[in-house]
Amino acid sequence: MQTIGLSADEQSEIFRMLAIVLWLGNVQFEEKDDGNSQIADSGVTDFVAYLMEVDSALVQKVLTSKIVETQRGGRRGSVYDVPLNPAQAGSGRDALAKAIYNNLFEWIVSRVNVSMKPRTATAQVVGILVRLHFLIVIFIILILYIKGYFWLRDFRSMPFPIAAEVYVDIFFRIILSSNFA
């Protein structure tokens, strides 16, 4: 990671974001008597809150409820805190994890693009080869960490080789278009 110019703080933040995504996958919901959801193990959300550097109660509230605002004629209406059932809460948790992962991946790609700016011809060829190898390794590590979470939840109907091929194809199109276009 130092090859592309990431500082120790940036590397730490990358690992922290990956840990948040992985720990969000461990959050389980159970149904209360009234049909609403509650966190099955608050220790998991406590650790997610610690990683996010926010209050644990806030994480639990965000994962188990949504805010609905009514409007009347363009004016602000009433604001309601609506509890979610376990299925809705699970979908919200998955959406949060995907959003964090997506932003992290886009940030890493943008940092790699900045580090691959042209230099002298010889240094550029060597730099591209080193960085391309690094990108492939990082991409494989990210996929291996995340594949169990996302592919088990979202790609149950899609065979693993096809999903992997799609991600690798998109990855190399991004890399090749930024270097050789």
Burial 73-99 (b: 16+ CB within 10 A, else e): eeeeeeeeeebbebebbbebbbebbbe
- The answer to whether the predicted template modeling score (pTM) of the entire model surpasses 0.85 is no
Q: What is the pLDDT of residue 38?
A: 93
Q: What is the pLDDT of residue 78?
A: 82
Q: What is the pLDDT of residue 106?
A: 86
Q: What is the Cα–Cα distance from 165 to 78, expressed in whole angstroms?
A: 48
Give the architecture (CATH level 2) of 2-180.
Up-down Bundle (1.20)
All residue ranges of the chain with pLDDT < 50 are 151-152, 155-156, 158, 180-181
